[in-house]
Structure 1
Amino acid sequence: MKYRDQAAAGLASIEEAILGLLAERPEGLINNEIARTLKLESDFAGRQKNYLTYSVLGGLLKRGLVKREKQDGKQPFKLAR
């Protein structure tokens, strides 16, 4: 149970950091910008880059805390207000 609690605390911390960052950037950010800004870029050599932040953003989307809007050919993540 200790490891599960550690993982839950880590996830909550990453979510909080992403939400705080998006609050400072009302124009929104794409996943790669979020990963780079928070120093969470993946070192994985395959095609699935920055999946950690993308996965966390998916959970925030599902809970209605962030949204995506098409903008200049991109779909940045923004806070859902």
Structure 2
Amino acid sequence: MPKTKIAVTLDEKTVEQVDRLVACRAFPSRSRIIEEAVREKLHRMTRNRLAQECAKLNPASEKALAEEGISQELEEWPEY
């Protein structure tokens, strides 16, 4: 996948922590640790968004819809 360079400004303490992780070979470069951190954050935000949207659902209404679909399906099944 093609990559794009961007400039990132971080506080000194964060840069020191990043540099320590690179120095102990936990990550091959500053870029890699920042890329992985951003990817992980975006992934968590996506999961949280799904949870937030699910929380908006009305359980009773969803159950009624599900049961309505099941009862219609049962009527279509042949007798054994």
Higher relative contact order (CA 8 A, sep 6+): 1
Regarding TM over 0.5, the answer is no
Decide which structure has greater strand share.
Answer: 1
Choose 1 or 2 for highest CA Rg.
2
The TM-score, its normalising length taken from structure 1, stands at 0.30
The TM-score, its normalising length taken from structure 2, stands at 0.30
